């Protein structure tokens, strides 16, 4: 059975703030960890309340986001939605790690440039 995952978006990255999100990716992840389908939704305006309503309406089981206020985190977890917050970096990288069972709350997924040694 597939799992429905919502990732908050800001261009190609996980949106920095849940309450300021105007675009989301809804993905279906198969039991085998394969991403079966992605669907982008553009919201009319930024609203954490509207986003929570969309999560309930769509039957979302997991939310991947960055900054989320405590009241919305608590509400979603009370509704049995798993929230992986403080995720920074590419939404695609985050979703792929989630599908592999490797994404954790607090994951920072930016590539670091290699440092040159002085000497």
Q: What's the pLDDT at 2? A: 87
Q: What's the pLDDT at 112? A: 64
Asked if the model's pLDDT at residue 73 lies above 90, the reply is yes
Q: Which residue has the tokens 């954790």?
A: 104
Mean pLDDT (whole number) for 42-71: 96
Q: What's the pLDDT at 116? A: 65
Cβ atoms 52, 76 nearer than 8 A: yes
Class of domain 3-12+26-99: alpha beta
User: Six-digit token pair at 116?
Assistant: 């040159």
Q: What's the pLDDT at 1? A: 77
Q: What's the pLDDT at 113? A: 64
d(CA 119, CA 22): 48
Q: Which residue has the tokens 């990716």?
A: 25
Give burial (CB, 10 Å; 0-12/13-18/19+) of 4: middle
Q: What's the pLDDT at 117? A: 61
DSSP state, residue 118 = P
């Amino acid at each position: 059975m597939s799992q429905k995952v919502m990732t908050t978006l800001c261009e190609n990255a996980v949106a920095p703030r849940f309450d300021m999100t105007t675009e989301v990716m809804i993905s279906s992840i198969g039991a085998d960890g394969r991403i079966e389908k992605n669907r982008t939704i553009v919201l009319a305006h930024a609203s954490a309340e509207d986003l929570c309503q969309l999560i309930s309406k769509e039957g979302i089981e997991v939310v991947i986001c960055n900054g989320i206020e405590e009241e919305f985190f608590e509400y979603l977890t009370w509704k049995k939605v798993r929230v992986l917050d403080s995720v920074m970096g590419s939404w695609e990288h985050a979703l792929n790690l989630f599908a592999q069972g490797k994404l954790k709350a607090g994951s920072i997924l930016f590539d670091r440039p290699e440092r040159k040694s002085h000497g």
